[in-house]
Amino acid sequence: MPRVSAIFSTPTYRGSELPAEGKSVLIGGWHEGQSWGKDRYFVDLVGDPLALQLTGALAFDIKQVLGADDFDDFIDRWITIYPVPTQIKDKETGELKMVAMIRARACDKDQAPPRRLSQAKDSPPDDDIPF
């Protein structure tokens, strides 16, 4: 028999649980897991037992806000998550219903990380260095 803990292995935020003004969160890592019996990606939050299940919209929000495409570059960065009322079609009944989708925006607490060496190599040479 299936177990609830196997189908829903990662406790996650639901949009309806977030305050309308949003909540600032610090990203501590990410992992792969199961939700609704499917493989999913999750963002782990520092000091928070709940994770964020990444949807396409949320992942692209975070990418745009942080200016980073690699999940590892999300770590130690702040974002604000907030609910957005969204109308979806119920998979079983086909009826339209309202849900609260989680989206992300910039957070005042976030600071861009220092430039990495790989980024420095792509920079043009500085011709203003005195000899």
Task: Judge whether residue 26 has pLDDT over 70.
Answer: yes
Whether pLDDT at 95 is above 80: yes
Least confident piece of the model among 3-7, 26-30, 98-102, 124-128: 124-128
Give the pLDDT score at 22. Answer: 96
- Tell me how crowded residue 49 is: count the other CB atoms within 10 A of its CB: 7
Q: What is the largest CA-CA distance in the chain?
A: 75
Highest mean pLDDT out of 24-33, 89-98, 106-115? 24-33
- Of 125 and 81, the structure prediction assigns the larger pLDDT to 81
Cα–Cα distance, 1 to 14 (Å, whole number): 26
Sign of the dihedral through C-alpha 98, 12, 10, 72:
positive
Strands 38-45 and 78-89: unpaired
Token pair 């043009």 in the structure block, residue: 124
